[in-house]
């Protein structure tokens, strides 16, 4: 599984598209096999789902996103987990353990 975590500094960003960067994490059998950070190429409606899909992302984690973005990620077969807050380190650890739970979207759309 390749996960893109919307990142602002060392915490999960509130909005998937307006973050500074994405922390890209590869998880296999409960182990982190690779972790990298890429700059956000810019927030343009409809762009990021395809951009991340081209990089092999199968799941995105963010504080929130609007319903249109959620649908666009779904079309790219990318699972969206929203309602996540906290540090990137804690989020990566929860991913590794298979215990990352989402909730209500935190951004306003």
Residue 104 maps to a domain: no
| Residue 10: Cβ-neighbour burial (10 angstroms; 0-12, 13-18, 19+) | exposed
CATH number at residue 56: 3.30.420.130
- The conformation of residue 42, written as its DSSP 8-state character, comes to -
Largest CA distance in the chain: 35
**pLDDT value of position 52:** 96
Residue 62 maps to a domain: yes
Residue 52 maps to a domain: yes
**pLDDT value of position 42:** 87
Q: Domain range spanning residue 8?
A: 2-21+29-81+88-97
Residue 106 maps to a domain: no
Number of domains comprising the chain: 1
**pLDDT value of position 109:** 54
Residue 73 maps to a domain: yes
pLDDT in tens, 45-56: 889 999 999 999
The whole-model pTM stands at 0.93
Residue 72 maps to a domain: yes
Residue 13 maps to a domain: yes
Nearest to 65 by CA among 16, 7, 103: 16
Residue 109 maps to a domain: no
Q: Along the chain (109 residues), what's the average pLDDT of each consecutive run of 10 residues? A: 97 93 95 95 89 97 92 96 96 93 75
């Amino acid at each position: 599984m390749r996960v893109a975590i919307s990142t602002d500094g060392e915490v999960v960003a509130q909005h998937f598209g307006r973050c500074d960067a994405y922390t890209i994490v590869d998880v296999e059998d409960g182990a982190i096999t690779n972790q990298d950070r890429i700059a956000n190429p810019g927030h343009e409606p409809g762009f990021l789902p395809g951009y991340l899909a081209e990089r092999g992302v199968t799941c995105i984690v963010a504080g929130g996103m609007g319903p249109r973005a959620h649908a666009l990620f779904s079309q790219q077969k990318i699972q969206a987990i929203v309602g996540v807050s906290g540090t990137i380190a804690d989020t990566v650890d929860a991913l590794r353990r298979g215990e990352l739970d989402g909730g209500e979207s935190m951004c306003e759309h």
